[in-house]
Structure 1
């Protein structure tokens, strides 16, 4: 499974597409009308293309959401598709930002819990659910993210959740970035694990079982004393039978504890 990167399209046209529903005036008119003229009503919209791309990626994997595959799915010629989305780079940014916006995080003035940690929990739950709905998202590097409404809504939400802690502005921003890094990375790894199981048809437990000879034939307790000590103390036994969920919960709680400890007394 090869990785794709967002943020590789032409900046001007990518921004125009990402913010297509946020920068229209009566003088400008809809983007589709400006491109094609007012003579013929377009059979598709940019939203139709994005939804179809996400549907293909969900059902068949990210590679299926190519421009050619998408044109076939929509019943149009590939060249026609390019009049809506100029390239696969812009298409990927549009798909990613669309699913980022699915989290429906409370915006300014909308009801939300009073406790800041509960607000972060909303971000955590919604982000993990988003990755579970769209496993292909784990194959997309967002080091250079699509700077669209979905991405900015998440940034705004986390910053607003932390503003009341009394931290300095730089610390507030750093704390929000730390939460994003932790939650998104963990959710992505969880989704990638499930994607590998789906693609290979082999569970992770089965994969490890095939390599069980490691412990009997190759593992040297003297070279791995810490691992051995944890094993002898039953440290690898998960209290909930879900080690991944336990480690995620532990990490998020300790991260939020650390942010809490920085609050002015």
Structure 2
């Protein structure tokens, strides 16, 4: 069960307790855990390691964050919120912003690949993402019954590529070898083991230079957005609104 008072601590701060003020804050604890996980992986961000980094006892740390599960949820929600998904520009540009910042998030925090977001922490970071995407699909003129479907489709696609970027960063950190170097070491595979007759489609594409352009992410995202755009108003009886009339002025902090 989520610890809502901790997840929503910035919007609904707890009443100050009597006595001496605490030496640390929950924000400091979470930030320290994120720094450790960024450098050494999620497993390294134990309560003992975080406490040591903050110069306090492990048991003292539990007075700020009751469990490691709570700590991980707070870490995840904080990095989700740190993307700062601003409202503005056209709806396609908003999706591009969401995609770029989500990939940057995974590259900066590779430990996210070790966390499932199928059941995300219900904090400000998760809510900011859902609000951003639902508002974006609304601005695109997607019919009400299809808004959440469109938002979830974009989310699934973006996160698939973003996790790949995170896995690349994590593997590079753990092995000390870049993915480019890893592939270079296997150059002899294509000469000694790859059978051009068994894989004619791949061979033909290689000979035609079809593997040189690796911009698969942009290509696929454009197809999804084109499909959403074409579906707007189709068999729905709903006219597509002019986007400049859709005004969303607040930003997600």
Task: Using structure 2 for the length normalisation, give the TM-score.
Answer: 0.86
CA distance in 2, matches of 1:176, 1:58: 29
CA distance in 1, matches of 2:155, 2:141: 20
1:198 aligns with 2:173: yes
1:173 aligns with 2:148: yes
Change (3 A) 1:75 1:119: same
**Which shifted more, 167-176 or 247-256?**
167-176
Aligned to 2:6: 17
CA distance in 2, matches of 1:116, 1:206: 38
CA distance in 1, matches of 2:186, 2:108: 30
What is the CA deviation profile of residues 95-129 of structure 1, one whole-angstrom value per residue up to 9, with x for unaligned ones?
010010011113xxxx611x210111221222222
Aligned to 1:5: none
CA distance in 1, matches of 2:183, 2:93: 36
1:257 aligns with 2:226: yes
Aligned to 1:125: 100
Are the equivalent residues in 1 in contact too, given 2:81–2:125 (CA < 8 A)?
yes
Aligned to 2:68: 88
Are the equivalent residues in 1 in contact too, given 2:142–2:228 (CA < 8 A)?
no
Aligned to 2:201: 226
Residue 77 of structure 1: how far off its partner (Å): 0.9
Question: Counterpart of 1:189 in 2: which secondary structure?
Answer: helix
Alignment match of 2:77 (pick from 97, 104, 110): 97
Question: Counterpart of 2:196 in 1: which secondary structure?
Answer: coil
What is the CA deviation profile of residues 159-207 of structure 1, one whole-angstrom value per residue up to 9, with x for unaligned ones?
1011133333231101111111111221121121122112211122222
Are the equivalent residues in 2 in contact too, given 1:139–1:192 (CA < 8 A)?
no
CA distance in 2, matches of 1:137, 1:217: 37
Unpaired stretches in structure 1, ≥5 consecutive residues: 1-9
Residue 94 of structure 1: how far off its partner (Å): 0.1
Matches within 5 A, 1:1-265: 10-11=1-2, 14-24=3-13, 29-30=15-16, 33=17, 38-106=18-86, 112-113=88-89, 115-238=90-213, 243=214, 246-264=215-233
CA distance in 2, matches of 1:16, 1:52: 20
CA distance in 1, matches of 2:23, 2:10: 18
Residue 152 of structure 1: how far off its partner (Å): 0.5
Change (3 A) 1:132 1:209: closer
CA distance in 1, matches of 2:41, 2:121: 20
CA distance in 1, matches of 2:37, 2:223: 35
CA distance in 1, matches of 2:106, 2:163: 6
Unpaired stretches in structure 2, ≥5 consecutive residues: 235-253
CA distance in 2, matches of 1:46, 1:129: 25
- The runs of at least 4 consecutive aligned structure 1 residues that moved more than 3 Å come to none
Q: Report the RMSD for the aligned CA atoms in angstroms.
A: 1.7
